[in-house]
Amino acid sequence: MAGIPFVAPIDPLNYATAERVATRVERVIARNPNHYTFTGTGTYLIGSPNSSHGECAVIDPGPDVPEHRQALEAALVDRRVTAIVVTHCHSDHVGLAAWLKELTGAPTVAWKPHGAVGLLDNADDLEVMKQLAPPPKSAEEIAAEKEIARQAGLDPDDFEIRETVDTEFVPDIRVEDGGLVAEGDGWTLRGVHTPGHTSNHMCVALDEERALFTGDHVMGWSTTVVSPPDGDMRSYLSSLDKVRRRGDAVLWPTHGAPVTDPGPFLDAYYEHRLSRERQVLEAIADGLTTVAPMVRRMYAAVSPHLHVAAARSVLSHLTQLVDEGRLRTADGAPARLSSTYVI
């Protein structure tokens, strides 16, 4: 997407291996690459810069993938995990939290459980999603996905790329905005509430390195999906501005490489959202008054496999605009995927 200085992918990309990426930070990448996770979900281990042993915290334990589970178990040998930190409840972030808690006895730490669920409540909304469904996968794409599943220790015949939410997750410890998440010898983690992508999304600050672990709030390779009803664009923009004003030295997303020059990156990231808002209003002014044609126009340069997710972000913009009185639905009802919009 033009305007945002996206960072290059991690190179070399080593799955299921604990690699030190900063003085107090190691990263283990899960082999779950897809259109939503990029090259895979990164789990971060925070600990003393002086030793690979001792106290540590785990940020986003990652998806329930056998290979990733084994890699974490190996990386945590002789360490005492004091906190299992979850940025939000999407399954590729929280999937191994319960297993890791049982293994280590450490408490789970987050802001709060996931909020409202549900989006496709009627046949009209489902029809919009069907209109935006991606083309069937080629034989080569199917074979590549099965090989990824096989290498990660999953049954390739049961493997399916999809985003799910753990609505049952309740953290043992709930962190206030700016509150202490965990601390150890030479390191301190604090919570930074950043609702928007989800209502319970929390970034995690590592004080000693002026580093912010951004989960899915800010990603170096792409913008994030904001999906109503739990995702909220007004909250997202406010949270993004909050991160812009922090002045962190580096951002560590859960997917992809770090952002080492956050200022210009975040400014462009924020402006991109405002640009999408303008595009929504321009589309309606041009007679594209429903979600599907808006998405096809606004995301013409984006893979069709992401158009369903894009529709959710467009709906979030529309919801905000309707709530602010800058748009209305033709029937006067709340904004939906299937609504017709008028200025």
**Residue 333 falls inside a structural domain:** no
**Residue 126 falls inside a structural domain:** no
Q: Percentage of residues in the chain with pLDDT exceeding 70?
A: 96
Q: How far, in Å, CA of 284 to CA of 332, rounded?
A: 16
How many angstroms separate the most distant Cα atoms in the chain?
Answer: 63
Higher pLDDT residue, 34 or 122? 34
pLDDT-derived band of residue 36, with 50, 70 and 90 as boundaries?
confident
**Residue 64 falls inside a structural domain:** yes
Lowest pLDDT segment from 39-48, 67-76, 113-122, 221-230? 113-122
Number of domains into which the chain is organized: 1
Between the alpha carbon of residue 269 and those of residues 3, 28, 85, 230, the distances in Å are 8, 26, 25, 21
Residue 119 confidence (pLDDT): 58
Q: How far, in Å, CA of 208 to CA of 186, rounded?
A: 8
Helix axes 307-323, 291-298, angle to 10 degrees: 120
Q: How far, in Å, CA of 252 to CA of 213, rounded?
A: 5
3-class DSSP state of 286: coil
**Residue 298 falls inside a structural domain:** no
**Residue 255 falls inside a structural domain:** yes
Could you tell me the CATH number of the domain that includes residue 112?
Answer: 3.60.15.10
Q: Tokens 């049954």 label which residue?
A: 155
Asked if omega into 12 is within 30° of 0 (cis), the reply is yes
Higher pLDDT residue, 150 or 270? 270
Residue 53 confidence (pLDDT) above 90: no
Higher pLDDT residue, 6 or 148? 6
Between the alpha carbon of residue 193 and those of residues 84, 237, 337, the distances in Å are 17, 13, 28
How high does pLDDT run on average in the chain? 93
302-337, pLDDT tens digit by residue? 989 899 999 999 999 999 999 999 999 999 999 999
Supply 286's token pair: 């041009």
**Residue 67 falls inside a structural domain:** yes
**Residue 59 falls inside a structural domain:** yes
Higher pLDDT residue, 230 or 159? 230
Strands 173-174, 108-110: parallel, antiparallel or unpaired by DSSP? Answer: parallel
Residue 1 confidence (pLDDT) above 50: no
**Residue 30 falls inside a structural domain:** yes
Residue 158 confidence (pLDDT) above 70: no
Q: State the residue range of the domain holding 252.
A: 19-121+137-274
Task: Decide if 145 contacts 159 (C-beta within 8 A).
Answer: yes
Task: Decide if 89 contacts 297 (C-beta within 8 A).
Answer: no
